[in-house]
Structure 1
Amino acid sequence: MTKTTASAHPAPGVCGLRERKKQRTRDALVRAAMQLFTSQGFERTTVDEIAEAVEVSQRTFFRYFTNKEHAALALDDLIEERFLAALRERPADEPPLEALRHAVLGVWDDVSTAIHEVVPIDLYMRMYQVIESTPALLSARLRREAQMETRITAEIARRTGLDPRTDLRPRVLVAAFGGVIRAASEHWGHCSEGSVAAMRSSFRRHLETLGPALAGSWQSVTP
């Protein structure tokens, strides 16, 4: 009789279960981190406290995140990937600025749902305020935004068949677009209504203003 041995590769169902468990642990760490950051401050929160809140080890925390900043900005990864996917799916003949605008506004509901699956929306909103008021986090977010602009520039260049090393238009457009998104976020952050609807409205208003601000006359028309 031949001896049977276990397969070197786990069954697909086992792999799926393992990945879901890892995702649940990562989400729990993000949720615990944001709850601690918003309640006692980013600087006063330790990695040990985050791990203890989820009943895992510090070593487990570092399997998912390189540091506290990474955990604090973890949802930015989700938002960026959803946006880039939406941009890649825009019609090939759509003008670049329109593609960017439609990608942002079109993916909004999907992003809001994805965020809600990890943390309550009101916690995400409070975390935004923590990031804006914490120099280390704000600096880390600005670095991430610069990296994201490079990726968007590459996508716009691909869509238009331009080489951003010799043609400045993709880089300039994406820089202007990124500035508008930043301005919209800051405007929302100073509004009394810190809701998802208010943030989306701010994005829409700022994006609709970009074209006229660049091409139109700023002189008031005298009746």
Structure 2
Amino acid sequence: MVIDERSATAAPATGLRERKKRRTRNALLRAALLLFLSQGYERTTVDEITDAVHVSQRTFFRYFANKEEVVFALQELVESRFVAELHARPAAEGPFEAMRGAALAAWDSVEVALSEVVPVDLYMRSYRLIESTPALLAVHLRRSTELEERISRLIGAREGLDVDADPRPRVAVAAFCGVMRVTGRLWGRGEDTSVESIRGLTETYLDRIGPALTSSWRGPA
């Protein structure tokens, strides 16, 4: 048997390069978030971020288009997990059941993914940063609207519906995403920064949507 030495060494070399890139990106992300939190998003410069990691501006822009993209990198990670889980839900599940299951499954797996990049506590603090910075909050609301539309179209495709003709997917997703925003804000203001905490809040609040919309509130919750 003939062994191609170039093939044998190419894979390990590629793996090392990818790990180095991932370490550099994660270091830039951590440094940027810590600077944003300590001195403010708008007062922090790209030069300060790169100086903290000892890399060039060119390296920063190889991984991030701008500071805004850094801030929302963790939100993008969490959202992508949710969308992937929603794609994987059984076809027999109804729309709300599928979204609920996807949200809880995403929280079950996202802690490991987050901790490979930043401490989970830093993710929670970055959520507070977004909520307290007007420029970032405006971007967050725009991104939320875009995500809602993406999920609505996914739900419409699952149900075989045209979302532009049938309002139900968008209505269901609006209710679901509203609850997710509420739980995120409550979690961000709380003392318990664990993923278990936000998962528990998510489950509790999602399970209250039906009764909140269809039942009388004049009685025990």
TM-score, scaled to structure 2: 0.90
TM-fit CA distance, 1:127: 1.6
Amino acid at match of 1:164: V
Residue of structure 1 in register with 2:3 after alignment: none
In the aligned structure 2, how far is the partner of 1:48 from the partner of 1:181?
A: 35
How far did 1:205 drift? 1.3
| Unaligned residue ranges in structure 2 (runs of 5+) | 1-5
Q: Secondary structure of 1:107's partner? A: helix
Number of matched pairs = 213
Whether the 8 Å CA contact 2:128–2:189 is kept in 1: the answer is no
Letter in 1 for 2:41: F
CA shift, 1:18, in A, is 2.4
Partner of 1:11: 10
Q: CA RMSD in A?
A: 1.8
Counterpart of 2:195 in structure 1 is 196
Matched, 1:109 2:133: no
TM-superposed deviation, 1:12 = 3.6
CA deviation after TM superposition for structure 1 residue 22, in Å? 1.7
Aligned partner of 2:67 in structure 1 is 68
- Give structure 1 stretches of 5+ with no counterpart: 1-6
Paired position in structure 2 for 1:4: none
**In the aligned structure 2, how far is the partner of 1:158 from the partner of 1:31?**
37
> What TM-score do you get using the length of structure 1 for normalisation?
0.89
Instruction: State how far apart, in whole Å, the 1-side matches of 2:147 and 2:22 are.
Output: 23
1:128 maps onto 2:127 in alignment: yes
1:159 aligns with 2:158: yes
Q: Percent identity?
A: 56
Equivalent residue runs for 1:35-74 within 5 Å: 35-74=34-73
Distance 1:167 1:15 in 2: 48
2:90 corresponds in structure 1 to 91
Tell me by how many angstroms 1:32 deviates: 0.7
Separation of aligned partners in 2, 1:189 and 1:80: 17
Once residues 57 and 25 of structure 1 are traced to their aligned partners in structure 2, the CA distance between those partners, rounded to angstroms, is: 11
Deviation at 1:215, TM superposition (A): 2.3
What do residues 75-123 of structure 1 show as CA deviations (whole Å, max 9, x unaligned)? 1111111111111111101011010001111121211111111111122
Q: Shift in Å at residue 25 of structure 1?
A: 1.2
Aligned position for 1:216 = 215
Tell me, in whole angstroms, the C-alpha distance in 2 between the residues paired with 1:165 and 1:14. Answer: 49
